[in-house]
Amino acid sequence: MSCSALRNSILSTDNSVDEKILWACRRGDADALRTVAYQLADELYTVALAVLDSEESAHSAVVETWRRTLTALQRWRLTGRLHSRALNLLGRVLSQMADRQQAQQIAETVGRARAGSSEVCPAPDELVAALTRLSDRMAPTIVQARQRRKHRLRLALSGGLVVLGVLIGLSGAFYNRTLAARNPQLQFETLQRRIVAAQLRMVVQQAEMELVDPTGAQASVREGYQRIGLVLEEIINAASLQQASRLQFIKDRIATQKLIQLARRAAYQSSGKQRDKLMMVVLVLEEAANL
């Protein structure tokens, strides 16, 4: 299949980037990056060609725009939708390449593209191939940047910056509520993947086994760990948000049994990697309570 045929087969009617694909792009998934490059190539090329005086210059402008877009994906949080961010970056690139007198033309052309009111010229296969090669080359860099952000977060938590941890949790909860308004199933699946990937069920079991007096003075703490483990297990085993019929019951249990407070207290009393993992349990419970 040619580049143009493949591109036409995956373009949506409104040229928007699917939320799941955008999430994968932020994680540095090369296939997702190539998909978005296919989706945006025609529109970016059309805008560039309308402003610049040659196909070669338009080609260079689109490649540079995509490079800057991939660089933006390496930051802590890419604000706004990827489609709008790419058009904004293209406007900056064109402003640097074109004459000052063309500033108004650039603004109008980008505005028409954002509104979807202009015809689209198919990008050459050579340009699409260049964008996909750039995606493959920069994907590992995006992955590494994400890993560095996660590492800095773990250092902040292990360093005892409790206030920072709370702020991150609040901002994450706010973002997830916004995401849930658009795609609650995606939020639920993301929560499941985080629990499994971090092996949080085993983290809670390990904390329970490390209790000094689990059948005596710490019996209530042990019972709390067991309840946390059951909540995590029920979330993991729910095949979909629709099948999580006991979701409200789980949320009520988290609140009435004060499981978040228990996990946070356990994290404060721990140190090193165990503290980091228990703080992840706290954040997961907070997100589950807000589903």
The amino acid occupying position 254 is I
Length of the chain counted residue by residue: 291
Cα distance between residue 109 and residue 87, in whole Å = 10
Q: Which residue shows structure tokens 């703490």?
A: 221
Q: What is the pLDDT of residue 15?
A: 43
The amino acid occupying position 207 is A
Q: What is the pLDDT of residue 8?
A: 44
**DSSP of 19-49, one letter per residue?**
HHHHHHHHTT-HHHHHHHHHHHHHHHHHHHH
End-to-end CA distance of the chain: 42
Among 3, 97, 94, which residue's Cα sits nearest to residue 46?
94
Q: What is the pLDDT of residue 280?
A: 84
Query: DSSP code of 100?
Result: G
Q: What is the pLDDT of residue 7?
A: 45
Low-confidence residues of the chain: pLDDT under 70: 1-18, 76-80, 100-104, 114-118, 153-186, 239-247
Instruction: List, in order, residues 6 or more apart from 167 with CB less than 8 Å away.
Output: none
Task: Compute the Cα dihedral for 261, 262, 263, 265 and give only its sign.
Answer: positive
> Diameter of the chain by CA atoms?
81
Q: What is the pLDDT of residue 118?
A: 64
Instruction: List, in order, residues 6 or more apart from 168 with CB less than 8 Å away.
Output: 153, 283
Helix spans in the chain (H): 3-10, 19-26, 30-51, 55-72, 82-97, 103-115, 125-158, 162-182, 184-197, 200-209, 219-237, 247-256, 259-268, 272-289
Give the pTM: 0.48
